[in-house]
Amino acid sequence: MDLKKAKLLDRILLKFAGNATIKWNDLRDGHWDDIASYHVCENNINFLVGDGMIKRESAILALSLTDKGLAVMTDIPNLGYAKKTKKEIFDACVKYVAIATFFILIYNTFLKKSNDYLQRKENHQGIDTLQPRQDNKLHDSTSRLPLDTVDQIHITDTIQQ
């Protein structure tokens, strides 16, 4: 249900404020022109009758609220059709955001890591292990040692020369 129709249904329910009984002739005479035209109101009243909010009293050709309709009409901001429609729209948005988040999580967890692994594997193929570093020192077995040990080895190498 769209929000415009939901607001229209709530406005029709509010016409029954005070548990009023409304005759069909009032509907045809333009009593409800402030809401919508006769045909629009009649179709929506039939919807409300089918939903159990309004009942037809055939003996006097009138419409009145049911207990369910009275409960909704007295608390329209929380129980009305507009509130239900807004909640449905919000829930649908949350569902789509959750699904999108799930797919992003799957991509970042599995696919991106495997692509990074393949890219690193391609980058490491054919690289010589003794490539110069930024500071013009060669990568060697000392690159994995703590810095103070590396400095001691270089000092020892310098003294020996």
SS3 annotation, 34-79? CCCCHHHHHHHHHHHHHHCCEEEECCCCEEEECHHHHHHHHCHHHH
Render pLDDT for 45-104 as a digit per residue (tens, 0 to 9).
889 999 999 998 877 788 888 989 888 888 888 889 999 999 999 999 999 999 999 998
Is the pLDDT at 21 greater than 70, yes or no? yes
Domains, the chain: 3-81 (1.10.10.10), 133-161 (no CATH)
9 three-class SS: helix
User: HSE-up of 159 (CA within 13 Å, CB side)?
Assistant: 6
Contact present, 54 and 65 (Cβ < 8 Å) = yes
**What would the two tokens of residue 146 be?**
């703590």
How many C-beta atoms lie closer than 10 Å to residue 65's C-beta?
Answer: 24
Mean pLDDT of 103-118: 74
Q: What predicted TM-score, i.e. pTM, was given to this entire model? A: 0.59
- Write down the H helix ranges in the chain: 3-14, 24-28, 38-51, 67-74, 76-79, 81-106, 112-124, 147-160
